[in-house]
């Protein structure tokens, strides 16, 4: 999207193809939609990272418990 905006602005500045108000509004709307999509992706990514962190905490707890069980078993021999 960024490249498209830059291309059209360059064309308008060079006088090759004037930028109409309708086209400018369309570019603006498309840009806003892209920003919202990126923000939604960011929120989903952060949520997934938090889920993975929680899973890792559970795995770490399980590993620590197994290590303690193993140590207790060795000590009782």
Question: pLDDT tens digits, residue range 18-76?
Answer: 999 999 999 999 999 999 999 999 999 999 999 999 999 999 999 999 999 999 999 99
Question: pLDDT tens digits, residue range 8-18?
Answer: 889 999 998 99
**What is the structure's pLDDT at 41?**
98
pTM (two decimals): 0.65
**What is the structure's pLDDT at 39?**
98
Whether 2 has a pLDDT exceeding 90, the answer reads no
Q: How many helices (H) and strands (E) does the chain have?
A: 2, 0
CA distance 9 to 15: 10
């Amino acid at each position: 999207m960024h490249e498209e905006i830059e291309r059209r602005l360059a064309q308008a500045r060079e006088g090759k193809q004037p930028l109409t108000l309708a086209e400018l509004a369309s570019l603006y709307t498309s840009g806003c939609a892209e920003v919202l999509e990126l923000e939604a992706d960011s929120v989903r990514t952060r949520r997934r990272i938090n889920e993975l962190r929680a899973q890792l905490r559970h795995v770490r707890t399980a590993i620590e418990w197994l290590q303690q069980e193993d140590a207790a078993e060795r000590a009782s021999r």
